[in-house]
Amino acid sequence: MGLFGYRERRVKATTVVFDGKTFGASPDRRGPVGGGKGYRGYPRPTHAVDSLDSLLAALKSSHTGDIIFIPGSCTVECTERVYIEEMVLEIPAGVTLMSDRGKARSKGALLTSGSLQTRPLIRALGSGVRVTGIRIAGPNPRRSLEHHHRSFAEGRGHDYYYGFPVSSGIQTEHPNLMVDNCELAGWSHSAVHLLRGSGHHIHHNLIHHNQYQGLGYGVCHDLATSLIERNLFNHNRHSIAGTGLPGCGYTARHNVEQGTSLSHCFDMHGGRDRKDGTNLAGSTMVFTNNTFWCPKPAIKIRGVSEEAVRVSGNWFYQGAKEKAVIQEGNVRFGKNAYGRHNPQSD
């Protein structure tokens, strides 16, 4: 059983083959899509902690190359200190925070905050931070559709909407963040928020129930670029999203959308969303060998990217390209498979 009662369904065949070409998501030498049992990327720890106080002390004294381990049996409850002190778990440059999700049946240590204004719970203080093998639970897995309707359809507006606090799990303004083999759920703004930096790598995670209407992102980019691969996504509003500003972009490959999304799955905002008078939707985007079992549109690019968007090797739920990918131009399609139950290649 996953966070918030999520039933981790066994991942069935996520690929289909036509004329010798494989479409959809495949595991790699590091382990299965979504991580967990069978993952093979555990570093060797240099420190061990088993409480919030010992974790804070270890983070404060750690240096580049240190690896802080939290046993999988531990729950680190952060709610009160986040609410009262606005505490953030700050990880110095080059430091790894880890647990053992998937090893010897471990679910991984649980870091959790029930404070609605947790933003973020974890912050990278420099380049090369890694978070691996941990369950990271936020305060709000709900969609809050009625609140969104009251705010906008009934005319109360943004001030009313943002009067209710939102939360983020992991945040960075520095390059080369790695988040792998984690379960992240319950974050009303975003599970992973990439504000700045390049070289980010988000892989082999289970990311679900980040679905607050109007926000609700699995991985969110501001002025950042990343590689997002071999993650399991479900019950998000957008599993991947970006502001669409110059310098914003990502490569998404070998990810699986398991079936439920509040809106389209992979997103890039455009100038109309930002109201900046442009039609720009990011700088670079590559979508290759992803599997979409969700009936909502798989990809929506709400403007035109600076560089041509590449879409190839994917297996889409929809039977037609135009329903799977909503776009406004500068998109280059390779061969993809269309149709969940009777797939065909173009």
Residues contacting 225, CB < 8 A, separation 6+: 197, 198, 199, 200, 247, 248, 249, 250, 283, 284
Cα separation, 49 vs 96, whole angstroms:
13
DSSP 150: I
Q: Which tokens belong to 254?
A: 């070998």
The number of residues making up the chain comes to 346
Residues contacting 39, CB < 8 A, separation 6+: 30, 31, 32, 101, 102, 103, 133, 181, 204
Q: Based on the number of CB atoms within 10 Å of its own CB, is 146 exposed (0-12), middle (13-18) or buried (19 or more)?
A: exposed
212 neighbors 188 (Cβ within 8 angstroms): yes
Q: How many CB atoms lie within 10 A of CB 296?
A: 17
Return phi, psi of residue 135, to 5°.
-95, 130
Cα separation, 239 vs 216, whole angstroms:
8
Residues of the chain with pLDDT under 70: none
Cα separation, 340 vs 337, whole angstroms:
9
End-to-end CA distance of the chain: 38
Residue ranges of the domains in the chain? 3-345
Our measurement of the distance from residue 115's CA atom to the centroid of its chain's CA atoms, rounded to an integer in Å, reads: 20
Enter the pTM of the model: 0.98
Residues contacting 245, CB < 8 A, separation 6+: 222, 223, 274, 280, 282
DSSP 301: E
Which pLDDT value is given to residue 191? 99
What superfamily does domain 3-345 belong to in CATH?
Single-stranded right-handed beta-helix, Pectin lyase-like (2.160.20.10)
Cα separation, 10 vs 314, whole angstroms:
20
Residue type, 110: L
CA distances for 260 relative to 244, 294, 317, angstroms: 24, 6, 12
Q: Which tokens belong to 225?
A: 């670029």
Cα separation, 132 vs 180, whole angstroms:
5
Which pLDDT value is given to residue 12? 77
Q: What angle do CA 222, 228, 229 make, to 5 degrees?
A: 170
What secondary structure does DSSP assign to 46-75, as a single string? Answer: SEE--SHHHHHHHHHH--TT-EEE--TT-E
Q: Which residue has the tokens 């109007």?
A: 214
What secondary structure does DSSP assign to 204-250, as a single string? Answer: S-EEEEE--TT--EEEEEEEEEEEEES-EEEEESEEEEE---TT-EE
